[in-house]
Amino acid sequence: MFPNRINFHISKLPLNLFCLQDAKICFADDTLPDGFNVSKGDMVAYQPYAMGRMKLIWGDDAEEFKPERWLDENGIFQKESPFKFTAFQAGPRICLGKEFAYRQMKIFSAVLLHFFEFKLSNEKAIINYRTMINLHMDGGLHVRILQRRGS
Ligand code: HEM
């Protein structure tokens, strides 16, 4: 059903925090929860990309790829506050498709990982971001995909 081995080029892999910046315009003068005053017409933006890498929020290892930071001592996934992990925004206008998106990503990952093994084409390549409205990988991520035995 699947080819045994294919070379694949992921050019637009959305990374962790898709959106670099999410801006809003104030409709009226207001005071933010931390006491900061904003005026009608002001633009207020939060930056999921930057927030996802801030030591103040995530600790000294903020920039390390460390999936286990999401697990408790028993290996059970622990949700973070959406005000801390802001990829889907938070509050009353939080992304309506969040659960759907997670479900889709889990199913997609489970199916792919069941059938295939993914290896970097070049283990030593330095991978950089290409900063746009969405976060792309500069030059893409070249991987080799091998069919798992028995699948
Ligand atoms: C990983 C995938 C996704 C990410 C990172 C994401 C992120 C976001 C963010 C940050 C917002 C807030 C935008 C703003 O108000 O400034 C938002 C809103 C929204 N998203 Fe998503 N989203 C994702 C997938 C989806 C999917 C799959 C759906 C629908 C099936 C969806 C439906 C919506 C809707 C309807 C809103 C507007 C909610 C409102 O304004 O009340 N999203 N999303």
Task: Please state the ipTM of this predicted complex.
Answer: 0.97
Region class of 40: left (phi > 0), else alpha (psi between -120 and 50), else beta:
beta
Q: 45 has which bridge partners? A: 23
pTM, rounded to two decimals? 0.80
Hey, whose CA ends up nearest to atom 34 of ligand 1?
A: 96
**The pLDDT of residue 107 is above 80:** yes
Cα(127) to ligand 1 centroid in Å equals 27
Q: What's the pLDDT score for residue 47?
A: 87
50-59, 127-136, 142-151 — which is least confidently predicted? 127-136
pLDDT category, 19, cuts 50, 70, 90?
Answer: low
**pLDDT tens digits, one per residue of 136-148:** 889 999 999 999 9
**Residue 22 Cα: closest atom of ligand 1:** 16
Q: What's the pLDDT score for residue 17?
A: 40
* Measured distance CA(44)–CA(67) in Å, rounded: 30
H or E segment and range at residue 10: strand 5-10
Cα(88) to ligand 1 centroid in Å equals 6
Q: What's the pLDDT score for residue 113?
A: 96
Hey, whose CA ends up nearest to atom 37 of ligand 1?
A: 95
Q: What's the pLDDT score for residue 38?
A: 94
Tell me what the mean pLDDT of segment 122-133 comes to: 86
Cα(94) to ligand 1 centroid in Å equals 7
Domain ranges of the chain: 1-17+94-151
**The pLDDT of residue 6 is above 70:** no
Q: What's the pLDDT score for residue 136?
A: 86
The stretches of 41-125 forming alpha helices (DSSP H) are 48-51, 55-58, 98-115
Average pLDDT of the chain, as a whole number? 85
Q: What is the DSSP pairing of strand 141-147 with strand 5-10?
A: antiparallel
